[in-house]
Structure 1
Amino acid sequence: MDLLPISGDPHRLAARIADLDQEVRRIFPLQRFLDAVREGELALVRPRLWDDPREDPASLCMLDGRGLSPVKGQRQLADYLAPVWAQCWSLNPGSDTLLRAYSRVRLGDDRRNTDRDNEGVIVTTTVRHLLAATEAWHGDGADVHAVVGGVDYLDDGEIWQRIVNICNGEHGPGFFQTVQGRAEALLWKRRYFAHEQEVRFMLIGRACSEEPPVPDVRVMRIDPNSLFRSISFDPRLQPFETNEREAELRAAGYEGNVVRDLNYQGMLGLLEMKKEWPDP
Protein backbone atom coordinates (compact mmCIF):
# COMPACT_ATOMS: atom_id res chain seq x y z
CA MET A 1 0.00 0.00 0.00
CA ASP A 2 1.20 3.49 -0.83
CA LEU A 3 2.01 5.69 2.14
CA LEU A 4 -0.90 7.98 2.91
CA PRO A 5 -0.07 11.57 3.92
CA ILE A 6 -1.37 12.67 7.31
CA SER A 7 -2.90 15.76 5.72
CA GLY A 8 -4.74 13.72 3.06
CA ASP A 9 -8.28 12.36 2.96
CA PRO A 10 -9.35 10.49 6.11
CA HIS A 11 -8.74 6.74 6.03
CA ARG A 12 -9.64 3.69 8.10
CA LEU A 13 -6.96 1.03 8.29
CA ALA A 14 -6.04 -2.18 10.10
CA ALA A 15 -2.35 -2.88 10.76
CA ARG A 16 -0.83 -6.23 11.73
CA ILE A 17 -4.28 -7.75 12.15
CA ALA A 18 -4.65 -11.12 10.42
CA ASP A 19 -8.38 -11.53 11.03
CA LEU A 20 -10.67 -8.52 11.37
CA ASP A 21 -13.30 -10.73 13.00
CA GLN A 22 -10.99 -12.00 15.75
CA GLU A 23 -12.36 -11.16 19.17
CA VAL A 24 -10.61 -8.50 21.22
CA ARG A 25 -11.40 -7.58 24.81
CA ARG A 26 -10.91 -4.74 27.22
CA ILE A 27 -11.51 -4.28 30.95
CA PHE A 28 -13.31 -0.98 31.51
CA PRO A 29 -13.81 0.63 34.91
CA LEU A 30 -17.37 -0.36 35.79
CA GLN A 31 -18.80 3.13 36.30
CA ARG A 32 -17.06 4.52 33.22
CA PHE A 33 -18.50 1.71 31.13
CA LEU A 34 -22.02 2.26 32.45
CA ASP A 35 -21.64 5.95 31.52
CA ALA A 36 -20.38 5.01 28.04
CA VAL A 37 -23.44 2.81 27.45
CA ARG A 38 -25.85 5.36 28.88
CA GLU A 39 -24.41 8.30 26.94
CA GLY A 40 -23.40 6.43 23.77
CA GLU A 41 -19.84 7.79 23.91
CA LEU A 42 -16.36 6.30 23.92
CA ALA A 43 -13.36 8.28 25.23
CA LEU A 44 -9.88 7.93 23.72
CA VAL A 45 -6.85 9.61 25.32
CA ARG A 46 -3.40 10.84 24.35
CA PRO A 47 -0.84 8.04 24.94
CA ARG A 48 1.28 10.38 27.06
CA LEU A 49 -1.36 9.97 29.78
CA TRP A 50 -0.72 6.21 30.06
CA ASP A 51 1.43 4.76 32.84
CA ASP A 52 4.34 3.61 30.66
CA PRO A 53 6.68 6.63 30.32
CA ARG A 54 8.08 5.22 27.05
CA GLU A 55 4.84 5.14 25.09
CA ASP A 56 5.10 6.70 21.63
CA PRO A 57 8.89 6.26 21.51
CA ALA A 58 9.33 8.45 18.42
CA SER A 59 8.10 11.42 20.46
CA LEU A 60 11.04 10.89 22.84
CA CYS A 61 13.75 11.27 20.15
CA MET A 62 15.93 14.16 19.01
CA LEU A 63 17.34 14.36 15.49
CA ASP A 64 21.05 15.21 15.77
CA GLY A 65 22.57 16.73 12.64
CA ARG A 66 25.73 18.15 14.19
CA GLY A 67 27.82 15.59 12.30
CA LEU A 68 26.48 16.69 8.91
CA SER A 69 28.13 19.14 6.55
CA PRO A 70 26.81 21.75 6.69
CA VAL A 71 25.86 21.29 10.32
CA LYS A 72 22.10 21.03 10.81
CA GLY A 73 21.87 21.08 14.60
CA GLN A 74 19.16 19.28 16.58
CA ARG A 75 15.40 19.01 16.25
CA GLN A 76 12.82 16.99 18.14
CA LEU A 77 11.18 14.22 16.14
CA ALA A 78 7.92 15.16 17.88
CA ASP A 79 7.64 18.08 15.42
CA TYR A 80 6.79 15.51 12.72
CA LEU A 81 4.14 13.70 14.76
CA ALA A 82 0.41 14.30 14.50
CA PRO A 83 -1.60 14.00 17.73
CA VAL A 84 -3.14 10.61 18.44
CA TRP A 85 -5.93 9.52 20.77
CA ALA A 86 -6.00 5.82 21.56
CA GLN A 87 -7.63 3.05 23.52
CA CYS A 88 -6.10 -0.33 24.43
CA TRP A 89 -7.78 -3.67 23.67
CA SER A 90 -6.26 -7.14 23.87
CA LEU A 91 -6.07 -10.44 22.00
CA ASN A 92 -5.46 -12.18 25.33
CA PRO A 93 -8.45 -14.52 25.84
CA GLY A 94 -8.44 -13.66 29.53
CA SER A 95 -6.05 -14.12 32.43
CA ASP A 96 -5.98 -13.66 36.17
CA THR A 97 -3.01 -11.31 35.76
CA LEU A 98 -4.93 -8.88 33.56
CA LEU A 99 -8.08 -9.21 35.64
CA ARG A 100 -6.27 -8.28 38.84
CA ALA A 101 -4.42 -5.44 37.09
CA TYR A 102 -7.60 -3.73 35.92
CA SER A 103 -10.29 -4.80 38.38
CA ARG A 104 -10.35 -4.71 42.18
CA VAL A 105 -12.70 -6.87 44.25
CA ARG A 106 -12.47 -6.89 48.04
CA LEU A 107 -15.44 -8.59 49.69
CA GLY A 108 -16.68 -7.07 52.91
CA ASP A 109 -18.53 -8.77 55.75
CA ASP A 110 -21.76 -8.57 53.75
CA ARG A 111 -20.01 -10.27 50.76
CA ARG A 112 -20.26 -7.11 48.68
CA ASN A 113 -17.33 -5.56 46.85
CA THR A 114 -16.02 -2.72 49.01
CA ASP A 115 -13.96 -1.25 46.12
CA ARG A 116 -16.59 -0.63 43.46
CA ASP A 117 -14.74 2.49 42.26
CA ASN A 118 -11.93 0.25 40.98
CA GLU A 119 -14.05 -2.66 39.80
CA GLY A 120 -13.80 -3.62 36.14
CA VAL A 121 -16.12 -5.08 33.52
CA ILE A 122 -14.87 -7.29 30.67
CA VAL A 123 -16.06 -6.18 27.23
CA THR A 124 -15.53 -7.90 23.87
CA THR A 125 -15.77 -6.71 20.28
CA THR A 126 -13.89 -7.25 17.00
CA VAL A 127 -11.51 -5.11 14.97
CA ARG A 128 -14.14 -4.91 12.26
CA HIS A 129 -16.66 -3.51 14.74
CA LEU A 130 -14.14 -0.97 16.07
CA LEU A 131 -13.46 0.32 12.56
CA ALA A 132 -17.17 0.37 11.76
CA ALA A 133 -17.77 2.48 14.87
CA THR A 134 -15.68 5.27 13.31
CA GLU A 135 -18.02 5.66 10.31
CA ALA A 136 -19.09 9.16 11.37
CA TRP A 137 -15.40 10.13 11.68
CA HIS A 138 -14.60 9.05 8.15
CA GLY A 139 -16.70 11.35 5.98
CA ASP A 140 -15.91 14.64 4.32
CA GLY A 141 -14.44 17.11 6.76
CA ALA A 142 -13.35 14.46 9.28
CA ASP A 143 -10.25 15.62 11.15
CA VAL A 144 -8.84 12.16 12.00
CA HIS A 145 -7.79 8.86 10.48
CA ALA A 146 -8.89 5.67 12.25
CA VAL A 147 -6.40 2.81 12.66
CA VAL A 148 -6.61 -0.42 14.62
CA GLY A 149 -3.25 -2.14 14.97
CA GLY A 150 -1.58 -5.05 16.73
CA VAL A 151 1.34 -4.10 18.97
CA ASP A 152 4.81 -5.46 18.15
CA TYR A 153 6.79 -6.27 21.33
CA LEU A 154 10.51 -5.58 21.03
CA ASP A 155 13.64 -5.06 23.09
CA ASP A 156 14.45 -1.43 23.83
CA GLY A 157 17.40 -1.46 21.42
CA GLU A 158 15.26 -2.80 18.59
CA ILE A 159 12.72 -0.01 19.01
CA TRP A 160 15.34 2.74 18.90
CA GLN A 161 17.13 1.08 15.96
CA ARG A 162 13.91 1.00 13.96
CA ILE A 163 13.48 4.73 14.51
CA VAL A 164 17.11 5.43 13.54
CA ASN A 165 16.79 3.31 10.39
CA ILE A 166 13.59 5.06 9.35
CA CYS A 167 14.93 8.56 9.96
CA ASN A 168 18.00 7.77 7.82
CA GLY A 169 16.00 5.86 5.21
CA GLU A 170 14.17 6.71 1.99
CA HIS A 171 11.50 8.92 3.53
CA GLY A 172 13.50 10.30 6.45
CA PRO A 173 11.53 11.72 9.39
CA GLY A 174 8.74 12.42 6.90
CA PHE A 175 7.76 8.74 7.21
CA PHE A 176 6.09 9.67 10.47
CA GLN A 177 3.98 12.26 8.61
CA THR A 178 2.11 9.42 6.89
CA VAL A 179 -0.87 7.55 8.33
CA GLN A 180 1.01 4.25 8.34
CA GLY A 181 4.13 5.81 9.82
CA ARG A 182 2.31 7.58 12.62
CA ALA A 183 0.47 4.38 13.48
CA GLU A 184 3.70 2.34 13.41
CA ALA A 185 5.30 4.66 15.94
CA LEU A 186 2.56 3.70 18.40
CA LEU A 187 2.69 -0.03 17.72
CA TRP A 188 6.18 -0.66 19.12
CA LYS A 189 6.29 -1.55 22.78
CA ARG A 190 8.75 -3.12 25.21
CA ARG A 191 8.67 -6.90 25.74
CA TYR A 192 8.06 -6.12 29.39
CA PHE A 193 4.39 -5.67 28.46
CA ALA A 194 4.08 -8.61 26.05
CA HIS A 195 1.55 -10.44 28.25
CA GLU A 196 -1.02 -7.77 27.32
CA GLN A 197 -1.17 -8.92 23.65
CA GLU A 198 -2.37 -5.42 22.92
CA VAL A 199 -4.42 -4.11 20.02
CA ARG A 200 -4.60 -0.32 19.78
CA PHE A 201 -7.60 1.61 18.54
CA MET A 202 -6.30 4.98 17.36
CA LEU A 203 -7.66 8.25 16.02
CA ILE A 204 -4.80 10.06 14.28
CA GLY A 205 -5.02 13.80 13.68
CA ARG A 206 -4.63 15.13 10.13
CA ALA A 207 -2.19 17.89 11.09
CA CYS A 208 1.05 17.91 13.09
CA SER A 209 0.45 21.23 14.76
CA GLU A 210 -0.33 21.49 18.47
CA GLU A 211 -2.01 24.84 17.78
CA PRO A 212 -4.63 25.42 19.02
CA PRO A 213 -3.89 23.31 22.10
CA VAL A 214 -4.76 19.68 21.41
CA PRO A 215 -7.18 18.15 23.94
CA ASP A 216 -6.00 15.13 25.93
CA VAL A 217 -9.32 13.33 25.38
CA ARG A 218 -11.45 12.81 22.28
CA VAL A 219 -15.00 11.53 22.68
CA MET A 220 -16.65 9.68 19.80
CA ARG A 221 -20.29 8.79 19.46
CA ILE A 222 -21.04 5.05 19.42
CA ASP A 223 -23.95 2.65 19.38
CA PRO A 224 -23.08 0.38 22.34
CA ASN A 225 -25.41 -2.36 21.13
CA SER A 226 -23.61 -2.50 17.78
CA LEU A 227 -20.05 -2.06 19.02
CA PHE A 228 -19.93 -4.32 22.09
CA ARG A 229 -20.38 -8.04 21.40
CA SER A 230 -20.53 -9.35 24.96
CA ILE A 231 -20.17 -8.20 28.55
CA SER A 232 -19.06 -10.12 31.64
CA PHE A 233 -18.52 -8.97 35.20
CA ASP A 234 -15.64 -9.75 37.53
CA PRO A 235 -15.99 -13.47 38.37
CA ARG A 236 -14.98 -12.84 42.00
CA LEU A 237 -18.27 -11.05 42.66
CA GLN A 238 -20.99 -12.95 44.48
CA PRO A 239 -23.91 -14.06 42.24
CA PHE A 240 -26.37 -11.62 43.84
CA GLU A 241 -24.02 -8.71 43.08
CA THR A 242 -23.46 -9.90 39.50
CA ASN A 243 -27.24 -9.86 39.08
CA GLU A 244 -27.34 -6.29 40.39
CA ARG A 245 -24.60 -5.23 37.93
CA GLU A 246 -26.50 -6.76 35.04
CA ALA A 247 -29.68 -4.92 36.07
CA GLU A 248 -27.71 -1.64 36.10
CA LEU A 249 -26.31 -2.38 32.64
CA ARG A 250 -29.75 -3.14 31.22
CA ALA A 251 -31.14 0.03 32.79
CA ALA A 252 -28.32 1.99 31.09
CA GLY A 253 -29.60 0.70 27.72
CA TYR A 254 -27.45 -2.32 26.87
CA GLU A 255 -29.47 -4.99 25.06
CA GLY A 256 -26.65 -7.33 24.03
CA ASN A 257 -25.11 -10.51 25.34
CA VAL A 258 -24.14 -10.79 29.02
CA VAL A 259 -21.92 -13.80 29.73
CA ARG A 260 -21.34 -15.31 33.15
CA ASP A 261 -17.61 -15.75 33.81
CA LEU A 262 -17.14 -19.04 35.65
CA ASN A 263 -13.38 -18.84 36.21
CA TYR A 264 -13.82 -18.41 39.97
CA GLN A 265 -16.67 -20.87 40.38
CA GLY A 266 -15.90 -23.82 42.65
CA MET A 267 -16.10 -27.34 41.28
CA LEU A 268 -16.74 -30.83 42.62
CA GLY A 269 -15.65 -33.72 40.45
CA LEU A 270 -17.55 -37.05 40.49
CA LEU A 271 -15.09 -39.81 39.52
CA GLU A 272 -16.52 -43.01 38.09
CA MET A 273 -14.51 -45.89 39.58
CA LYS A 274 -13.77 -49.03 37.55
CA LYS A 275 -12.38 -51.09 40.43
CA GLU A 276 -12.56 -51.43 44.20
CA TRP A 277 -10.46 -49.05 46.31
CA PRO A 278 -9.38 -49.13 49.95
CA ASP A 279 -11.09 -47.05 52.60
CA PRO A 280 -9.00 -44.17 53.97
Structure 2
Amino acid sequence: MDLLPINGDPCRFAARIVDLDQEVRRIFPLARLLDAVKHREMALVRPRLWDDPREDAPSLCMLDGRGLNPAKGQHQLADFLAPAWAQCWSLNPGSDTLLRAYSRVRLDETRRNADRLNEGVTVTTTVRHLLSASEAWHAEGADAHIVAGGVEYLDDKEIWQRIVNACNGQHGPGFFQTVQGRADSLLWKRHYFAHEQEVRFMLIGREWSQDQSVPDVRLMPIDPDMLFRSISFDPRLQPFETKEREAELRDAGYKGEIRSDQSYQGMLGLLEMKKEWPDP
Protein backbone atom coordinates (compact mmCIF):
# COMPACT_ATOMS: atom_id res chain seq x y z
CA MET A 1 0.00 0.00 0.00
CA ASP A 2 1.33 3.46 -0.91
CA LEU A 3 1.71 5.95 1.91
CA LEU A 4 -1.60 7.76 2.29
CA PRO A 5 -1.60 11.44 3.28
CA ILE A 6 -3.42 12.29 6.50
CA ASN A 7 -5.52 14.93 4.71
CA GLY A 8 -6.44 12.52 1.90
CA ASP A 9 -9.62 10.53 1.42
CA PRO A 10 -10.69 8.57 4.52
CA CYS A 11 -9.41 5.00 4.63
CA ARG A 12 -9.99 1.97 6.83
CA PHE A 13 -7.64 -1.02 7.14
CA ALA A 14 -5.84 -3.48 9.44
CA ALA A 15 -2.07 -3.46 10.01
CA ARG A 16 0.18 -6.25 11.32
CA ILE A 17 -2.78 -8.54 12.05
CA VAL A 18 -2.56 -11.98 10.43
CA ASP A 19 -6.04 -13.29 11.20
CA LEU A 20 -8.92 -10.81 11.29
CA ASP A 21 -11.17 -13.49 12.78
CA GLN A 22 -8.98 -14.34 15.77
CA GLU A 23 -10.73 -13.53 19.02
CA VAL A 24 -9.58 -10.43 20.87
CA ARG A 25 -10.71 -9.39 24.33
CA ARG A 26 -10.91 -6.30 26.46
CA ILE A 27 -11.72 -5.78 30.13
CA PHE A 28 -14.18 -2.89 30.41
CA PRO A 29 -14.95 -1.18 33.72
CA LEU A 30 -18.42 -2.44 34.65
CA ALA A 31 -20.05 1.01 34.65
CA ARG A 32 -18.57 1.92 31.26
CA LEU A 33 -19.75 -1.32 29.69
CA LEU A 34 -23.28 -0.77 30.98
CA ASP A 35 -23.20 2.75 29.53
CA ALA A 36 -21.84 1.46 26.20
CA VAL A 37 -24.68 -1.07 25.92
CA LYS A 38 -27.38 1.32 27.07
CA HIS A 39 -26.32 4.25 24.88
CA ARG A 40 -25.01 2.05 22.05
CA GLU A 41 -21.71 3.87 21.71
CA MET A 42 -18.08 3.10 22.52
CA ALA A 43 -15.38 5.51 23.69
CA LEU A 44 -11.91 5.87 22.19
CA VAL A 45 -9.41 8.06 24.05
CA ARG A 46 -6.25 10.01 23.30
CA PRO A 47 -3.00 8.13 24.04
CA ARG A 48 -1.95 10.77 26.58
CA LEU A 49 -4.63 9.42 28.91
CA TRP A 50 -3.06 5.95 29.04
CA ASP A 51 -0.96 4.88 32.01
CA ASP A 52 2.35 4.48 30.15
CA PRO A 53 4.01 7.93 30.07
CA ARG A 54 6.01 6.93 26.98
CA GLU A 55 3.02 6.25 24.74
CA ASP A 56 3.04 8.00 21.36
CA ALA A 57 6.84 8.28 21.49
CA PRO A 58 7.18 10.74 18.54
CA SER A 59 5.11 13.28 20.47
CA LEU A 60 7.92 13.31 23.06
CA CYS A 61 10.65 14.17 20.53
CA MET A 62 12.34 17.41 19.47
CA LEU A 63 13.86 17.80 16.02
CA ASP A 64 17.33 19.27 16.44
CA GLY A 65 18.55 21.03 13.30
CA ARG A 66 21.26 23.14 14.89
CA GLY A 67 23.95 21.12 13.11
CA LEU A 68 22.50 21.81 9.65
CA ASN A 69 23.80 24.47 7.29
CA PRO A 70 21.97 26.75 7.53
CA ALA A 71 20.88 25.81 11.04
CA LYS A 72 17.18 25.22 11.67
CA GLY A 73 17.16 25.21 15.45
CA GLN A 74 14.78 22.93 17.32
CA HIS A 75 11.17 22.01 16.57
CA GLN A 76 8.79 19.63 18.29
CA LEU A 77 7.83 16.57 16.27
CA ALA A 78 4.38 16.74 17.85
CA ASP A 79 3.47 19.50 15.36
CA PHE A 80 3.60 16.89 12.58
CA LEU A 81 1.25 14.48 14.37
CA ALA A 82 -2.46 14.31 13.64
CA PRO A 83 -4.65 13.81 16.71
CA ALA A 84 -5.59 10.20 17.35
CA TRP A 85 -7.89 8.23 19.61
CA ALA A 86 -7.69 4.53 20.36
CA GLN A 87 -9.12 1.62 22.27
CA CYS A 88 -6.97 -1.29 23.40
CA TRP A 89 -7.87 -4.97 22.95
CA SER A 90 -5.73 -8.06 23.52
CA LEU A 91 -4.86 -11.31 21.78
CA ASN A 92 -4.06 -12.80 25.19
CA PRO A 93 -6.63 -15.59 25.75
CA GLY A 94 -6.92 -14.52 29.39
CA SER A 95 -4.59 -14.41 32.37
CA ASP A 96 -4.66 -13.71 36.07
CA THR A 97 -2.18 -10.87 35.50
CA LEU A 98 -4.49 -9.00 33.13
CA LEU A 99 -7.56 -9.76 35.23
CA ARG A 100 -6.02 -8.30 38.36
CA ALA A 101 -4.64 -5.32 36.43
CA TYR A 102 -8.01 -4.28 35.07
CA SER A 103 -10.54 -5.64 37.56
CA ARG A 104 -10.66 -5.22 41.32
CA VAL A 105 -12.64 -7.59 43.52
CA ARG A 106 -12.55 -7.23 47.28
CA LEU A 107 -15.28 -9.19 49.01
CA ASP A 108 -16.79 -7.63 52.11
CA GLU A 109 -18.44 -9.43 55.03
CA THR A 110 -21.59 -10.01 52.94
CA ARG A 111 -19.47 -11.60 50.16
CA ARG A 112 -20.21 -8.70 47.82
CA ASN A 113 -17.54 -6.84 45.87
CA ALA A 114 -16.68 -3.75 47.90
CA ASP A 115 -14.87 -2.17 44.93
CA ARG A 116 -17.57 -2.15 42.26
CA LEU A 117 -16.19 1.12 40.85
CA ASN A 118 -13.04 -0.71 39.66
CA GLU A 119 -14.65 -4.03 38.77
CA GLY A 120 -14.03 -5.19 35.20
CA VAL A 121 -15.99 -7.23 32.66
CA THR A 122 -14.33 -9.24 29.88
CA VAL A 123 -15.71 -8.68 26.39
CA THR A 124 -14.65 -10.59 23.26
CA THR A 125 -14.89 -9.70 19.59
CA THR A 126 -12.70 -9.91 16.46
CA VAL A 127 -10.83 -7.31 14.43
CA ARG A 128 -13.20 -7.99 11.56
CA HIS A 129 -16.13 -7.17 13.85
CA LEU A 130 -14.42 -3.95 14.97
CA LEU A 131 -13.85 -2.83 11.39
CA SER A 132 -17.40 -3.77 10.44
CA ALA A 133 -18.78 -1.87 13.41
CA SER A 134 -16.95 1.24 12.23
CA GLU A 135 -18.27 1.07 8.67
CA ALA A 136 -21.41 3.15 9.20
CA TRP A 137 -19.56 5.64 11.40
CA HIS A 138 -16.82 5.93 8.82
CA ALA A 139 -19.31 6.70 6.07
CA GLU A 140 -20.98 9.46 8.09
CA GLY A 141 -18.11 10.89 10.14
CA ALA A 142 -15.34 10.97 7.58
CA ASP A 143 -13.17 13.31 9.63
CA ALA A 144 -10.90 10.39 10.59
CA HIS A 145 -9.16 7.34 9.20
CA ILE A 146 -9.72 4.00 10.94
CA VAL A 147 -6.88 1.56 11.55
CA ALA A 148 -6.82 -1.65 13.57
CA GLY A 149 -3.23 -2.60 14.32
CA GLY A 150 -1.17 -5.14 16.21
CA VAL A 151 1.25 -3.57 18.68
CA GLU A 152 4.95 -4.28 18.13
CA TYR A 153 6.97 -4.63 21.34
CA LEU A 154 10.48 -3.18 21.16
CA ASP A 155 13.40 -2.06 23.27
CA ASP A 156 13.42 1.64 24.09
CA LYS A 157 16.50 2.14 21.91
CA GLU A 158 14.79 0.52 18.92
CA ILE A 159 11.71 2.74 19.27
CA TRP A 160 13.83 5.91 19.30
CA GLN A 161 15.97 4.63 16.43
CA ARG A 162 12.88 4.04 14.30
CA ILE A 163 11.78 7.61 14.89
CA VAL A 164 15.25 8.92 13.99
CA ASN A 165 15.33 6.78 10.84
CA ALA A 166 11.89 7.97 9.77
CA CYS A 167 12.71 11.65 10.35
CA ASN A 168 15.95 11.36 8.37
CA GLY A 169 14.47 9.13 5.67
CA GLN A 170 12.84 9.78 2.30
CA HIS A 171 9.79 11.57 3.70
CA GLY A 172 11.46 13.28 6.66
CA PRO A 173 9.14 14.17 9.57
CA GLY A 174 6.37 14.16 6.96
CA PHE A 175 6.36 10.36 7.31
CA PHE A 176 4.22 10.91 10.39
CA GLN A 177 1.79 12.96 8.29
CA THR A 178 0.78 9.79 6.45
CA VAL A 179 -1.85 7.38 7.73
CA GLN A 180 0.63 4.49 7.94
CA GLY A 181 3.26 6.63 9.65
CA ARG A 182 0.86 7.97 12.24
CA ALA A 183 -0.52 4.47 12.85
CA ASP A 184 3.00 3.06 13.28
CA SER A 185 3.80 5.74 15.84
CA LEU A 186 0.96 4.41 17.98
CA LEU A 187 1.90 0.75 17.55
CA TRP A 188 5.47 0.88 18.93
CA LYS A 189 5.46 -0.08 22.58
CA ARG A 190 8.03 -1.12 25.18
CA HIS A 191 8.77 -4.80 25.91
CA TYR A 192 7.72 -4.03 29.48
CA PHE A 193 4.09 -4.40 28.34
CA ALA A 194 4.52 -7.38 26.01
CA HIS A 195 2.29 -9.63 28.14
CA GLU A 196 -0.72 -7.57 27.00
CA GLN A 197 -0.44 -8.81 23.37
CA GLU A 198 -2.26 -5.67 22.40
CA VAL A 199 -4.36 -4.80 19.36
CA ARG A 200 -5.33 -1.16 18.98
CA PHE A 201 -8.44 0.17 17.28
CA MET A 202 -7.60 3.73 16.24
CA LEU A 203 -9.16 6.86 14.80
CA ILE A 204 -6.65 9.21 13.15
CA GLY A 205 -7.89 12.74 12.50
CA ARG A 206 -7.79 13.84 8.84
CA GLU A 207 -8.07 17.61 9.16
CA TRP A 208 -7.17 19.23 12.45
CA SER A 209 -5.64 22.70 12.63
CA GLN A 210 -2.96 23.46 15.21
CA ASP A 211 -5.16 26.01 16.97
CA GLN A 212 -8.18 23.69 17.19
CA SER A 213 -8.85 22.04 20.54
CA VAL A 214 -8.69 18.26 20.54
CA PRO A 215 -11.25 16.32 22.61
CA ASP A 216 -9.84 13.62 24.88
CA VAL A 217 -12.65 11.18 23.99
CA ARG A 218 -14.41 10.24 20.76
CA LEU A 219 -17.64 8.24 20.85
CA MET A 220 -18.41 5.72 18.11
CA PRO A 221 -21.94 4.36 17.64
CA ILE A 222 -22.13 0.58 17.91
CA ASP A 223 -24.60 -2.29 17.98
CA PRO A 224 -23.43 -4.21 21.08
CA ASP A 225 -25.22 -7.40 20.04
CA MET A 226 -23.36 -7.40 16.72
CA LEU A 227 -19.97 -6.18 17.96
CA PHE A 228 -19.57 -8.17 21.18
CA ARG A 229 -19.26 -11.91 20.66
CA SER A 230 -19.46 -12.67 24.38
CA ILE A 231 -19.33 -11.06 27.80
CA SER A 232 -17.98 -12.64 31.01
CA PHE A 233 -18.04 -11.29 34.54
CA ASP A 234 -15.11 -11.45 36.95
CA PRO A 235 -14.80 -15.11 38.02
CA ARG A 236 -14.00 -14.08 41.61
CA LEU A 237 -17.53 -12.76 42.14
CA GLN A 238 -19.97 -14.88 44.10
CA PRO A 239 -22.67 -16.61 42.00
CA PHE A 240 -25.48 -14.45 43.38
CA GLU A 241 -23.63 -11.28 42.42
CA THR A 242 -22.83 -12.61 38.94
CA LYS A 243 -26.58 -13.14 38.45
CA GLU A 244 -27.21 -9.56 39.54
CA ARG A 245 -24.65 -8.29 37.01
CA GLU A 246 -26.26 -10.36 34.27
CA ALA A 247 -29.66 -8.85 35.09
CA GLU A 248 -28.17 -5.34 34.91
CA LEU A 249 -26.63 -6.06 31.53
CA ARG A 250 -29.89 -7.45 30.16
CA ASP A 251 -31.79 -4.45 31.53
CA ALA A 252 -29.31 -2.20 29.70
CA GLY A 253 -30.39 -3.92 26.47
CA TYR A 254 -27.73 -6.57 25.77
CA LYS A 255 -29.16 -9.67 24.08
CA GLY A 256 -25.93 -11.46 23.17
CA GLU A 257 -24.00 -14.32 24.76
CA ILE A 258 -22.94 -14.20 28.40
CA ARG A 259 -20.28 -16.82 29.14
CA SER A 260 -19.49 -18.23 32.53
CA ASP A 261 -15.81 -17.76 33.38
CA GLN A 262 -14.60 -20.89 35.23
CA SER A 263 -11.06 -19.61 35.88
CA TYR A 264 -11.58 -19.53 39.65
CA GLN A 265 -13.84 -22.57 39.89
CA GLY A 266 -12.57 -25.21 42.30
CA MET A 267 -12.11 -28.76 41.01
CA LEU A 268 -12.18 -32.26 42.48
CA GLY A 269 -10.40 -35.00 40.58
CA LEU A 270 -11.60 -38.64 40.58
CA LEU A 271 -8.68 -40.96 39.81
CA GLU A 272 -9.46 -44.40 38.43
CA MET A 273 -7.06 -46.87 40.08
CA LYS A 274 -5.69 -49.86 38.16
CA LYS A 275 -4.15 -51.66 41.15
CA GLU A 276 -4.50 -51.98 44.91
CA TRP A 277 -2.83 -49.48 47.23
CA PRO A 278 -2.08 -49.55 50.95
CA ASP A 279 -4.35 -47.72 53.37
CA PRO A 280 -2.96 -44.43 54.70
TM-score between both structures, scaled by the size of structure 1: 0.98
Contact 2:137–2:221 (Cα < 8 Å) also in 1: no
Deviations for 1:128-161, whole angstroms, at most 9, x for unmatched residues? Answer: 1111111123226610001010000000000000
Deviations for 1:79-125, whole angstroms, at most 9, x for unmatched residues? Answer: 11000011110000000000000001111111111111110000000
Report the CA distance between 1:208 and its aligned residue: 4.7
Rounded to whole Å, the distance in 2 between the matches of 1:138 and 1:97 is 35
Structure 1 segment 22-37 matched on structure 2, within 5 A: 22-37=22-37
Contact 2:122–2:231 (Cα < 8 Å) also in 1: yes
2:91 corresponding residue in structure 1: 91
Contact 1:21–1:128 (Cα < 8 Å) also in 2: yes
Q: Which runs of 4+ in 1 moved over 3 A?
A: none
Structure-2 change in CA distance of 1:254 and 1:275 (3 Å): same
Structure 1 segment 100-139 matched on structure 2, within 5 A: 100-139=100-139
Structure 1 segment 180-259 matched on structure 2, within 5 A: 180-259=180-259
Contact 2:23–2:126 (Cα < 8 Å) also in 1: yes
Q: Does 1:46 align with 2:38?
A: no
Rounded to whole Å, the distance in 2 between the matches of 1:51 and 1:76 is 22
Q: Aligned pairs, how many? A: 280
Report the CA distance between 1:205 and its aligned residue: 0.1
Rounded to whole Å, the distance in 1 between the matches of 2:163 and 2:180 is 14
Rounded to whole Å, the distance in 1 between the matches of 2:238 and 2:140 is 49
* Amino acid in structure 2 at the alignment position of 1:187: L
Contact 1:82–1:205 (Cα < 8 Å) also in 2: yes
SS of aligned partner of 1:121: strand
1:62 corresponding residue in structure 2: 62
CA RMSD of aligned residues (A): 0.9
Task: Identify unmatched segments of 5+ residues in structure 1.
Answer: none
Rounded to whole Å, the distance in 1 between the matches of 2:188 and 2:268 is 45
1:167 corresponding residue in structure 2: 167
* Amino acid in structure 1 at the alignment position of 2:247: A
Contact 2:20–2:127 (Cα < 8 Å) also in 1: yes
Structure-2 change in CA distance of 1:140 and 1:233 (3 Å): closer
Rounded to whole Å, the distance in 2 between the matches of 1:214 and 1:157 is 30
* Amino acid in structure 1 at the alignment position of 2:167: C
Report the CA distance between 1:61 and its aligned residue: 0.5
Rounded to whole Å, the distance in 2 between the matches of 1:208 and 1:256 is 38
Report the CA distance between 1:13 and its aligned residue: 1.1
Q: Does 1:154 align with 2:154?
A: yes
SS of aligned partner of 2:139: coil
SS of aligned partner of 1:35: helix
Rounded to whole Å, the distance in 2 between the matches of 1:140 and 1:27 is 28
Deviations for 1:55-86, whole angstroms, at most 9, x for unmatched residues? Answer: 00010011111111111111111111000011
Contact 1:80–1:208 (Cα < 8 Å) also in 2: no
| More moved, 148-157 vs 136-145 | 136-145
Task: Identify unmatched segments of 5+ residues in structure 2.
Answer: none
Deviations for 1:13-56, whole angstroms, at most 9, x for unmatched residues? Answer: 10100011111000000011001000001011100011111000
Rounded to whole Å, the distance in 1 between the matches of 2:238 and 2:106 is 11
1:72 corresponding residue in structure 2: 72
**Percent of residue pairs identical:** 80
Contact 1:230–1:259 (Cα < 8 Å) also in 2: yes
TM-score between both structures, scaled by the size of structure 2: 0.98
